[in-house]
Amino acid sequence: MTARTADTAATDAVPIIAARGVCQEYKLARKSLFGQRERLAALQDVDFHAMPGEAVGLVGESGSGKSTLTRVLVGRERPTAGVMEYEGRDVWSLDGAGRRQFRRSVQVVLQNPRSSLDPRMTVGVSLVQPLRALHIDVDPKARVREVLEQVGLGVDVLSKYPHEFSGGQLQRIAIARALMPHPKVVIADEPVSALDVSIQAQVLNLLKDLVAELGLTLVLIAHDLSVVAYTTSRVAVMSAGRIVETGRPADLFRHPTAEATQALVDSVLTVEKGLEGSALL
């Protein structure tokens, strides 16, 4: 396995979120009544981390393990082996208060915002839900106004329902909902793949601005190399449940060494002279 680690990984600071030697297996259905249940190894000895205030990309083809790793990072699944850490502590060893703090601090933005927003709720009600679910004692109206300003929306959206918005507006609302609990880490799972190309840059610029202005840590998961190259400073490439290569986007995409990275670079649609590194920077 080839690993080229970015300079940020070499510092003495403790990663805000990290998977260390993580493996994840799933039991498959029996092929016969008395047969053994086979196991699917979705993650195999994965090491992944993000430093405070860092934007990190995670790329790989479909089925590479990105979504499984995402569920482990947000604490939805306990790994079968290895350790999932938040601020240097094992997430699954935290007490009740520690788990609640972890849930507040690590939030997710999903690929399809329509699936994460209840169509029966107004935007105003949906935005307040995280505060109630996580028992966060703040002025909800003031917090809603604050996050709407951060994502570039006005208070006029509060009385409307999800079906009244475009895809780009809905993704801004989904980002606002993720920001409500004052998270330290936002994990964005394919946040622009369901959007029109003309809107994708707006959402990516918003994420970049939030990282800079709020000091957020961003984990951006995608299969589009140009997306992670534009938004992140370090990228990890996944294949067959493993991290096969890490490094700066410009280095990885101009001079890939892992076969999986080369395949992703070769799959980028280009015109005229081809990639030449410029389409990914």
Count of CA atoms in the C-beta half-sphere (13 A) of 31: 3
Q: Is residue 146 part of a domain?
A: no
* pLDDT tens sequence across 92-136: 999 999 999 999 999 999 888 888 788 999 999 999 999 999 989
Contact 261, 252 (CB under 8 A): yes
pLDDT computed for residue 4 by the predictor: 42
Average pLDDT, rounded, for the chain: 87
Confidence of residue 2 (pLDDT cuts 50, 70, 90): very low
Q: Is residue 225 part of a domain?
A: yes
Phi and psi at residue 227, to the nearest 5°? -65, -50
Strand boundaries in 75-171, DSSP class E: 81-86, 89-90, 106-109
Count of CA atoms in the C-beta half-sphere (13 A) of 226: 16
Given the DSSP bridges, would you call strands 234-239 and 39-50 parallel, antiparallel or unpaired?
A: unpaired
pLDDT computed for residue 57 by the predictor: 95
Q: Lowest-pLDDT range, 35-44, 172-181, 196-205, 256-265?
A: 35-44
Contact 125, 175 (CB under 8 A): no
CATH of the domain at 80: 3.40.50.300
Q: What is the mean pLDDT of residues 61-83?
A: 93
Indicate the angle between helix axes 167-179 and 140-150, nearest 10 degrees.
Answer: 130
Cα angle for residues 229, 234, 240 (degrees, 5° grid): 90
Q: Is residue 137 part of a domain?
A: no
280 has a pLDDT exceeding 60:
no
201 has a pLDDT exceeding 70:
yes
The residue with greater pLDDT, 1 or 197, is 197
Q: What percent of the chain shows pLDDT beyond 70?
A: 89
pLDDT computed for residue 110 by the predictor: 86
pLDDT computed for residue 250 by the predictor: 86
Q: Is residue 132 part of a domain?
A: no
Confidence of residue 81 (pLDDT cuts 50, 70, 90): very high
The 8-class DSSP code of residue 91 comes to G
pLDDT computed for residue 270 by the predictor: 56
Contact 140, 176 (CB under 8 A): no
Which DSSP helix (H) or strand (E) runs through 186?
strand 185-189
Q: Is residue 25 part of a domain?
A: yes
1 has a pLDDT exceeding 80:
no
Q: Is residue 140 part of a domain?
A: no
Given the DSSP bridges, would you call strands 106-109 and 55-60 parallel, antiparallel or unpaired?
A: unpaired
pLDDT computed for residue 111 by the predictor: 83
252 has a pLDDT exceeding 80:
yes
pTM: 0.85
pLDDT computed for residue 225 by the predictor: 83
Overall number of domains in the chain? 1
281 has a pLDDT exceeding 80:
no
pLDDT computed for residue 275 by the predictor: 45
- Read off the tokens for 244: 């096969």
Domain span including residue 252 = 7-111+189-280
Q: Is residue 123 part of a domain?
A: no
* pLDDT tens sequence across 138-184: 999 999 999 999 999 999 999 999 999 998 999 999 999 999 999 99
Q: Is residue 142 part of a domain?
A: no
185 has a pLDDT exceeding 90:
yes
242 forms bridges with which residues in the sheet? 239
pLDDT computed for residue 269 by the predictor: 56
89 forms bridges with which residues in the sheet? 86
